[in-house]
């Protein structure tokens, strides 16, 4: 069966510091991968998605970036965090070939102080 991991689970970072969040998927090949952000009490905002290694689509302009160095690894990064980057970051995967169902990871709670 497929599983999705995210780490760290919780992160407190000062403004201006760098960020690296990691997501890995097990039990599937060539998944589509997604990064979402969820502000407190709000909906899900799609940040990036990837249909393959090195292929990243950005949904919103911001100071975040994403990379996919391996088939089942998706990384969310920032060079300098802003207060507004605080939130709950969720990684998700779906199958290829038009399969729409997305499966979410446990999330990373980021607090920027």
Partner 1 sequence: GENVEQHPSTLSVQEGDSAVIKCTYSDSASNYFPWYKQELGKGPQLIIDIRSNVGEKKDQRIAVTLNKTAKHFSLHITETQPEDSAVYFCAASIYGNNRLAFGKGNQVVVIP
Site for partner 1, rule CB under 8 A: 32, 42-44, 46, 49, 51, 90, 92, 94, 98, 100-107, 109
Least separation in angstroms between residue 72's CB and partner 1 is 17
Nearer to partner 1, 73 or 107 (CB): 107
CB contact set of 38 (below 8 Å; sequence gap of 6+):
44, 45, 87, 88, 89, 90, 107
Output 13 or 102, the one with its CB closest to partner 1: 102
Strand partners, 58: 48
Residue 52 beta carbon to partner 1: minimum distance, rounded to whole angstroms? 11
Q: How many CA atoms lie within 13 A of 99 on its CB side?
A: 13
């Amino acid at each position: 069966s497929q599983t999705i991991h995210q780490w760290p689970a919780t992160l407190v970072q000062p403004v201006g510091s760098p960020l690296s969040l990691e997501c890995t998927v097990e039990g599937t090949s060539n998944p589509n991968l997604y990064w979402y952000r969820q502000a407190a009490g709000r909906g899900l905002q799609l940040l990036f998605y990837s249909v393959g290694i090195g292929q990243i689509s950005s949904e919103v302009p911001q100071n975040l970036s994403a990379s996919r160095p391996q088939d089942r690894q998706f990384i969310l990064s920032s060079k300098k965090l802003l207060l507004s980057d605080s939130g709950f970051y969720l990684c998700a995967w779906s199958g290829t070939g038009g399969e729409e169902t997305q499966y979410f990871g446990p999330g990373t709670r980021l607090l920027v102080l």
